[in-house]
Amino acid sequence: MNAGLKRPREQFMGVDEETLECMPPEIEDVPKVENEQGPRPFKIWTAIEFQNYNPPDGVDILGKAILRHTQLTLLCGQGGIGKSTWTLALAVAQICGESSFCGLPLDPKPRKWLFIGTENGADRWKADLAIVCNQLDEAGRAAVAERLLVAAIFDDEAPDLELPDAAGRIQATIREAQADVVVLDPWAELVANEIDSAVVKAAILSLRRAVRCGSPNASTLLVVHARTGREAVADAGGNFGGMNAQRGNRALTNNARCVLSIVPRYEDGTDLVLACAKINDGEKFAPRALRVDRGRLRYAIDPSFNVDEWREEVRGKGTGRKCEVADVVEVVRSGVRKTGEIVDALKTKVERRTVMDRLDAAVSCGALQKVAHGQYVLGPKADLYQ
């Protein structure tokens, strides 16, 4: 037990001795130095040490300093947007040795991922893992079975993750799993009050201690609910409002080394925009649009995405240009047949994705027919769209 720790033991009922050793005493309880040499100073670096410094190999799991050993990364997003799905897809991609995820490089060495949270129950986990594993070969399924671990909070007699009370169990679970990456989902279940600065700071400190004592080099990916509204969405990744993406007290984002944000690209939530609101030890990547294949839990970057135009449209200040079924029918009626040429004819109005959506809709309603070699011809109901 830390010498000088005077807090009542009943405050930490259920927390083991090893956890208490890792938890700092209250400021007023710090013991006085009992040796003549005084406190041990922090190590000091000069410009030469920084010049010679290079991050150790394998310290970065995603990108450069986006998800890094010993550091805290936040993933912010509105409720129901697919934050949990995104983190699962990231873990599977890294475990299976994929070279990148959403255009960001992945460490080729498979890591052990531990998910702790109350966001999803056993049914959801079973369904999502079935989708993932059905796409993998035998080696991939074996890797996921070995390295993707889930704390069965849904099957626990006391499924409480609120800090600091749950710090001991979280630490013990991390140690048991020997985790390299710890995903905690969601933050709202770990903190008693997202608004109160003192409560938030205490929860962050408790979480850091639990992860560090459980697995000294583990990365922490914390899933956080974001603010809602058009301005909050449009601010994603921007220098003016991106840091305000997180719901609640700013102490959380201030303590994170990297803050990622995922927001809906369209109002119907079909696609996403991934952005970097903050990164301390690397450079921000450009916001990117992700086309989501929910049936396969896969993400593909849309190269036609223009972030400035998208932000203007979200804020309701865009050009108002639209592409309807009648527009693609008119282009085909004029003699343009190939997909790429149809897109080129309309790209001054809208993005490629919108044109492709309207082509699909035109085929569905019989206004167009898709024939060989990615070409379109007028369909039996073309005359209805003039």
Rounded mean pLDDT for each run of 10 residues along the chain, 386 residues in total: 44 54 48 67 94 90 96 94 95 97 96 96 96 94 97 93 96 97 96 94 96 97 89 75 73 93 84 93 93 89 86 72 82 90 80 82 88 89 81
Q: Same fold for the domain at 58-314 and the one at 325-384?
A: no
What global pTM score does this model have? 0.76
CATH number of the structural domain 325-384: 1.10.10.10
What are the phi and psi torsion angles at 351 (to 5°)? Answer: -75, 160
Which pLDDT score, from 0 to 100, does residue 101 have?
Answer: 97
CATH (residue range 58-314)? 3.40.50.300
Q: Name the residue ranges covered by the structural domains of the chain.
A: 9-50, 58-314, 325-384
- H or E element, residue 277: strand 272-279
pLDDT recorded at residue 133: 93
Instruction: Give the model's pLDDT for residue 303.
Output: 84
**Confidence at residue 15, expressed as pLDDT on a 0 to 100 scale:** 53
User: Tokens for 114?
Assistant: 């531990």
Q: Measured between alpha carbons, how far is residue 328 from residues 197, 313, 379 in Å?
A: 54, 21, 12
Tokens 């203007």 map to which residue?
312
Please report the pLDDT score of residue 294 as a whole number: 83
